[in-house]
Structure 1
Amino acid sequence: MKYLPWLFLGLPIVLFSQNFTNDTKSRFRYPIKKTTQTMTLDGEVGPKEWESHKAVSNFFNHWPTDLGQAKNQTEVKMTYDDTHVYLLAKCYDTESRIVQSLVRDNNDNYWGSDNFSLVFDPIGSKQNGFFFGVTAGGAEMEATLAIEEGNTSLSENWDNRWASKVKEYEGYWLVEMAIPFKTLRYDANATEWGVNFIRGDKQNNAYTTWTQFPINFNGISMNYMGTLVWDAPPKKAAGMFIFNPYSTLSSQRDYEDDNQNSPDTQINIGGDIKVALSSSLNLDLTFLPDFSNADVDQEITNITRFNIFLPEQRNFFLENSDIFSNFGSYDLKPFFSRRIGIMDGEAIPIDFGARLTGNLTKNLRIGVMDVQTQREGDFIPQNYAVAAFQQTLLKRSVFKGIFINRQATATSPDDEKYSRNAGLEFTYMSEDGRFNNNVKYHLSFMPQGFTNNHYYGFAGNYTTKRFRSGWQIDVVGENYITEVGVNPRLENYNAETEETVRLGYTLINPWFRYLTFSKDDNSKINYHGWRTWHMLYLNSDGTFNETMNNLAYDFEFRNTASLSLISRYRKVNLMFPTALIGDDFEPLPLGDYEFARFDLMYSADTRKQFVWSTNMGYGSFYNGTRLNAMLEGNIRFQPWGRFGITYNYNDIKLAEGYGANKLHLVRFNADIGFSNKLSWKNVVQYNSQSENFSAFSRLQWRYRPMSDIFLIYNENHDTNGFGIKNRSLVLKMTYWL
């Protein structure tokens, strides 16, 4: 009971929150009318092409200040015909434009360049939407929008058909977009959509928006969009059946397999099908999918006691994934798609997959997915099914549920036949978006009939311009098993017995932040302020397990540079013998460990041709010390190339008898954009901890919309003598029918 006061940290915030009226939908309205002209996508304003359509020309500052009007203004016009919605944007500037790269769908390059973005909420639920953006160099990015922890998040992994054209002029650059109606999901009877326009002006390190709203919400916020008013409801798009076949020619060899004496050459075919069951409900099918063109995983250094899970990279699982993945918390996910088709780091072939997602009504969104894997070596075939729903209540609040089933589809031991999870969550969100709180309850079901199979808790945050705070409490039973999810802290490894033991826990995690914004236009600082975050872990019986306490002071400069000073303190009750730096050393014994460290993080002006950042830290580490140094540098050859190198060094010295180790991680990246249709990505990585040296190269030519040719090369070497482990070369072609 001594920890009970932590439960009420958020209460004063709720009681003293100020009322704020969200009226951007009524204040900012754009009347879009159907064109009578033939629209040509050429980055030019053709005769009579746009003259009869209203212009939006009064953009407001959003970052680094939300006061006043934009220094470099933007004019926007929109129209539509039977098949497309069109946009024209005229972005005024002083011609010192920054383009990081011509490579498409690259989040860092996009936001680091001068850019223009269009965001839609066609359903009007303020829960999910679409993003279309293009840089001054013509590099495109499309994405889906979703609500996560009260804020709008962006997933650039969504890929669909649309087109843009950019042309540069003296004193401004011009954007034209053409977005097919069949790319969008919308209510065919609605005459009002949510919409906003965002301008990235890197010369002034500024982001400006059509609607005016508080700086504590990001520019793509679905809660502060304006209204796109149609002169007539847009008709349901015709031709809503799309077939996207692929073929691959691959040559692969595993040099660690003594039975493979020559490369294995294969020709494979498969494909994806998209069917619009209605204007707001979509069915996606895939058969014999191939993910060879997915980005390579980044190597990591892991000196924690638990496994680290790498992000999903496969497009079939990423599109519309928020309806399945937006459950649980940041480190506990009931559903994690990377658990499907990957076992112990090895790819398991998939026979087919089906996904139904979209809105049944304005307020009810559903998602159903089913995937069947093949037999691969000792892994028997499995069927994975997941179903989820989101019901909007009380304007912005959401009640949602999920059910997950992993079922063996061949003879298997009784205790491995299935694994199931189910959960319900309710998220209350205030109308202005400042306050939200999520309450959840989940269960897992195994053939063994385990008890203590629960996971429940609540989490939320409250945000104003200067003050932000959040809280999280999770209670996890020792048998809350997530075979198709992520729950790393549940599994504890005993280095002496080589056994994994499940232990339930309670997490209490409050955080606070306070910012001071500069009022002087000549100041070199945008803002500065402190933040603190704390994590307390208790065992299932209420006894102490671990605490982490952190305090930081941050500086954000006008020239995009940033500086953070961080102090950290940890106390750990080590319950099992643990090897942190390798199995060659004596495991750390059971007992209490207290240690502290200090970190300095600095990132230089991101607008420069050469950009660098560093993270330096030193302190005690269990019964020894740890020195960490990270240095990253990137050089830009505008607009065609960006090259970068990252070096991460850890020097860990434990007490005598428990070992010392120096861990090195080096990563080299080269992104070359010959045009916005032809790009070449290269990644070389060296990781002394995993004893792996890898090289990845992918050439991509988008020879027509949503149709690509890929040439992918990948190889891995052992760092001891650099003996080769495996090598592959893949030629892949996709075609959008």
Structure 2
Amino acid sequence: MKTIWPNLLLLIPILGFSQNGSVDTRAQYQYHIKKTTHPIALDAAVGENEWDNHMPVSQFFNHWPSDVGQAQNQTEVKLTYDDQNLYLLAKCFDNGERIVQSLVRDSDEDYWGSDNFSLVLDPVNTKQSGFFFGVTAGGAETEGSLTIEGSLTWLSENWDNKWASKTAQYPGYWLVEMAIPFKTLRYNPNQSTWGINFVRGDKQNNAYTTWTQFPVNFNGISMNYMGSLHWDRSPEKAKGTFIFNPYVTSSSIRDYEDGEELEAQLNSDLGGEVKIALTSNLNLDLTLFPDFSNADVDQQVTNITRFNIFLPEQRNFFLENNDVFSNFGTYDVKPFFSRRIGIMDGEAIPIDFGGRLTGNISPNLRIGVMNVQTRQTGEFAAQNYSVGAFQQKVLKRSVIKGIFINRQATSNTQELEYSRNAGLEFSYVSESGKLNTTFLYHTSTTPENYKDTHFYGFDGYYSSKRLRTGWTLNIVGDNYITELGINPRLENYNAETEETVRLGYTLINPWLRYLTFVEDENKKLNYHGLRTWHNLYLNSDGTFNESQNNVGWDFEYRNTARMIVLARFRKVDLMFPTSLLGDDFTPIPIGEYNFPWGELRYSSDVRKKFVWKANLAYGQFFNGTRNGAMVEGSFRLRPWGSFGLTYDYNDIRLAEGYGEDKIHLMRFNGDISFSNKLFLRNVVQYNTQGDNVSVFSRLQWRYSPMSDIFLIYNENHDTAGLGIKNRSVVLKVTYWL
């Protein structure tokens, strides 16, 4: 009964917000495309008669930081096509001053920090998934997939496919041409209308403009506010939709901590991936002996919480179209997290093969099926992982989603023979997208046949231009086991008995943000505003476990600088003796702890050659104090080089006898772009908490579209005497057939 009243309070905003009507931008903004009668040369120069007969889009609207009025610097766009490609020409007018941060491809920070132009497409025309193609004024490309989470559109740059672009800079404007093969896209050949929009990044004015006009509380790539692309004749089904992407690697690896390994192990491996378009909307991906040596290095972090942290997925095979599997649960509990496959206790486990079937089998039904087999190692049994998911569109924008997950041991093991999860969710999204709420129910099964294996609740938000508010309710049973997911609060470690105890909980999380936009023409601020969020954790019996109350004020400056002031108060009923600073100190005893702290965060103008940011924090920490500081500086020799240094410091002083420690984390990044096809990335990290110094270097040459040569060097040392732990050198070659 103790949890009923907060649950009812959370329901009030869901029921109370009225649904405002939305502008139908797909009806209001329409482009009629015609097939070209002249060959299109991809040279960023307008040839004679090349584009004359094609309709121009010449009026862009402000979108961010203001969604009122027409763009100060306009953009003119034309589209056409032939039997193989969709072509785009964009003429981006300006005063001749442009920012190109880097030539590195697929770099989120560098792309949005530069002058850029983006094309977003919804070929299935269902507002559920799509594609993104973008290029900076300097020619750095990025592509990605568009997915829906709630009512917001998210971009994943990890989708990779073949397309081409060319840019050139002229006095008063810069020009971009794109050629996107039809076989790169997934579409219905019988459908004559697609969703489409264009997004322009104008960094001198720190502004983003779009073809369609819609509210600033939705990002520029929003699939709900696209225009319509009308074909004079629907594109035929693309030919040549069988793609083979083999690789070969040669490596030298030595583990210096293994006393029996006296010299480096030399290995050569073959493998590859096959992509098969079963239909225009349904894609089959197969992989044999996948190799992830070219994945970016994990960015190390300091963890001073009582629970494990989870580093993001870096492996391309799992990232492409991953949203159909991963878009379940809430921010606090995720039933599926692909990084759990092929990594055990931080150790990479070889994968023998894998397959994924993803796409639309009807305009309103999207599916995903994945199967991966890992190899038996000396310590871990071979495992087979299967995941199946669907998304069925209902009403106008709402979705019913379901998922089934199975982990099955395929060799003898003393661990659990299998673990299974299943879940069903209903996401209601209003037509305008302002109101979104997801109701969910998940369960798990293991050989022990436990009780209390549930996870259910709801999660949503309401968003207008100034007011944004949301709510989360999670009710997690004692035995909701997610071997392939994220559920960090379930397992509690007793530092005295060295036992791990599973304890279910209820999370109640309301949050609110209110922004004040500055309309003054000579303004220094774009906006400022209040944010507040509160997390209340209750035990399974309704008694108090933990609360976190936070309030802050945001300032976003016209010159792209940002500042945030935060005040926080945390109350914890610690149920088990806990070691926050390691086993060398007496565990903090059971009891109630109350501790406030404050934070100040600032980041400078990202358009400058030298960019810096700083975070300062101070306050109480359980029975002691915590003093934290982070300083980061980055110097850019645009567009070919970027060099950055980060120092993260935490000084934790608990009560006498319970420990004190100064935790240092330093990171150096050095990125060099020899061209927009040849890149060198270097990362050095020093982490006293993890007792590790790592050196990572990767040279990438994209010698042909979607074909790369990688040379990767990696080594790790301890922080005490810099004794070496391991070293590897890998040469990898991929080719797109």
User: Same fold by TM (over 0.5)?
Assistant: yes
| SS state at 1:110 partner | helix
Which consecutive residues of structure 1, in runs of 5 or more, have no partner in the other structure? none
Answer yes or no: is 1:502 the counterpart of 2:502.
yes
The residue aligned with 2:196 is 195
Partner of 2:26: 25
In structure 1, the partner of 2:321 is 320
1:389 CA displacement: 0.2
Deviation, structure 1 residue 19: 1.8
2:517 equivalent to 1:517? yes
* Corresponding position: 1:171 with 2:177: no
Q: CA deviation at 1:22?
A: 2.7
Aligned mates of 1:686, 1:609 — CA distance in 2: 26
Match of 1:708 in 2: 708
- The whole-number CA distance in structure 1 between the counterparts of 2:180 and 2:662 is 52
- Written as runs of structure 1 = structure 2, the 5 A alignment for 1:556-705 is 556-705=556-705
Give the drift of 1:721: 0.2
Query: 1:449: which partner in 2?
Result: 449
Using the TM superposition, give the Cα deviation of residue 2 of structure 1 relative to its aligned residue in structure 2, in angstroms: 4.4
Q: CA deviation at 1:181?
A: 0.7
Q: Deviations over 1:485-531 (max 9, x none)?
A: 11111111111111111110000000001110011111101001101
SS across alignment from 1:488: coil
Q: Secondary structure at the match of 1:190?
A: coil
Inter-partner Cα distance in structure 1 for 2:328 and 2:227:
29
Trace 1:25-424 onto structure 2 (pairs within 5 A): 25-413=26-414, 416-424=416-424
Q: Distance in 2 between matches of 1:308 and 1:469?
A: 26
Aligned AA (2:421)? N
Look up the equivalent residue of 1:22 and give its one-letter code.
Answer: V
For 2:75 and 2:311, locate their aligned partners in 1 and report how far apart those are by CA, in whole Å: 39
Preserved CA contact (<8 Å) 2:14 2:437? no
What is the alpha-carbon distance in structure 1 between the residues aligned to residue 196 and residue 246 of structure 2? 33
Could you tell me whether the CA contact under 8 Å between 2:90 and 2:177 is conserved in 1?
A: yes
In structure 2, the residue corresponding to 1:400 is in which secondary structure? strand
Q: Give the conservation status (yes or no) of the 8 Å contact 2:26–2:228.
A: yes
- Please tell me whether the aligned partners of residues 10 and 470 of structure 1 are also in contact (alpha carbons under 8 angstroms): no
Contact 2:634–2:643 (CA under 8 A) maintained in structure 1: yes
Q: Deviations over 1:518-565 (max 9, x none)?
A: 111111010011010000000101111000000001111100001110
- 1:29 and 1:450 map into 2 onto residues whose CA distance is 56
1:474 aligned residue: 474
Q: Is the 8 A contact 1:251 1:730 kept in 2?
A: yes
- Once residues 394 and 521 of structure 2 are traced to their aligned partners in structure 1, the CA distance between those partners, rounded to angstroms, is 43
TM-score normalized with structure 2 length = 0.99
Distance 1:315 1:596 in 2: 41
Q: 1-side partners of 2:552 and 2:296: how far apart? A: 33
| Aligned pairs for 1:544-563 within 5 A | 544-563=544-563
Q: Deviations over 1:359-389 (max 9, x none)?
A: 0000000000000000111111100000000
Partners of 2:150 and 2:390 lie apart in 1 by 17
Letter in 1 for 2:596: A
Unpaired stretches in structure 2, ≥5 consecutive residues: none
CA distance in 2, matches of 1:19, 1:619: 43
Residue 20 of structure 1, CA deviation: 2.2
Deviations 1:575-603 (A, max 9, x none): 11101112111110000000000100001
Q: Offset at 1:165?
A: 0.4
Aligned match of 1:463: 463
Following the alignment from structure 2 to structure 1, what is the Cα–Cα distance between the partners of residues 77 and 332? 41
CA distance in 1 between partners of 2:687 and 2:413 (Å): 37
Report the Cα offset of residue 4 of structure 1. 3.0
2-structure distance, mates of 1:444, 1:10? 27
Counterpart amino acid of residue 338 in structure 1: R
- Equivalent position amino acid for 1:420 in 2: R
Instruction: Give the whole-Å Cα distance in 1 for the aligned partners of 2:588 and 2:450.
Output: 31
Secondary structure class of the residue paired with 1:109: helix
Q: Secondary structure at the match of 1:278?
A: coil
Q: Which moved more, 1:469-478 or 1:11-20?
A: 11-20
Q: Check the 8 A contact 1:613/1:631 in 2, yes or no.
A: yes
Change (3 A) 1:16 1:435: closer
- The amino acid that maps onto 1:680 is L
Distance in 2 of aligned mates of 1:142 and 1:568? 39
Between 1:241-250 and 1:581-590, the stretch displaced more is: 581-590
**In structure 2, how many angstroms separate the alpha carbons of the residues matched to 1:333 and 1:188?**
36
Amino acid at match of 1:474: N
Is this contact kept in 1: 2:597–2:620, CA < 8 A? yes
CA distance in 2, matches of 1:285, 1:548: 45
CA distance in 2, matches of 1:363, 1:326: 17
Which amino acid is the alignment partner of residue 264 of structure 1?
Q
Contact 2:124 2:363 in 1 (8 A): yes
**Structure 2 residue 550 is matched with structure 1 residue 541:** no
Is the CA contact 1:142–1:158 (under 8 Å) kept in the aligned structure 2? yes
Distance 2:135 2:195 in 1: 20
Q: Which residue of 2 aligns with 1:727?
A: 727
Is the CA contact (8 Å cut-off) linking 1:434 and 1:462 kept in structure 2? yes
Equivalent pair of 1:563/1:603 in contact (CA under 8 Å): yes
In structure 1, the partner of 2:426 is 426
C-alpha displacement at 1:3, in angstroms? 4.2
Matches of 1:656 and 1:49 in 2, distance apart? Answer: 78
Q: Which amino acid letter does the alignment assign opposite residue 623 of structure 1?
A: N
Identity of paired residues, percent? 68
Paired AA for residue 136 in structure 1? A
TM superposition shift of 1:18: 5.2
Mapped to 1, the partners of 2:574 and 2:481 lie a distance apart of 22
User: What's the CA shift string for 1:95-151, capped at 9, x where partnerless?
Assistant: 211111100000001000100000001111111110000001100000011112321
2:694 and 2:714 in contact (8 A); partners too: yes
Give 1:401 deviation, angstroms: 0.2
Q: Is the Cα contact below 8 Å between 1:22 and 1:431 reproduced in 2?
A: no
d(CA) in 1 for partners of 2:261, 2:107: 37
Q: What TM-score comes out, normalization by structure 1 length?
A: 0.99
Secondary structure of 1:9's match?
helix
Cα RMSD, aligned residues only: 0.9
Is the Cα–Cα contact under 8 Å of residues 3 and 542 in structure 2 kept in the other structure? no
One-letter amino acid matched to 2:664: H
* Amino acid aligned to 1:252: I
Cα distance between partner residues in 2 of 1:634 and 1:239: 44
Structure 1 runs (4+) deviating above 2 angstroms are 1-18
Which AA in structure 1 matches 2:77? V
Greater shift after overlay, 87-96 or 350-359?
87-96
Distance 2:642 2:578 in 1: 41
Amino acid at match of 1:451: K
CA distance in 1, matches of 2:459, 2:45: 50
Amino acid corresponding to residue 331 of structure 1 in structure 2: D
Contact in 1 for aligned 2:254/2:728 (Cα 8 Å)? yes
- Kindly state the Cα deviation for residue 10 of structure 1 after the two structures are TM-superposed: 4.8
Structure 2 residue identity aligned to 1:512: L
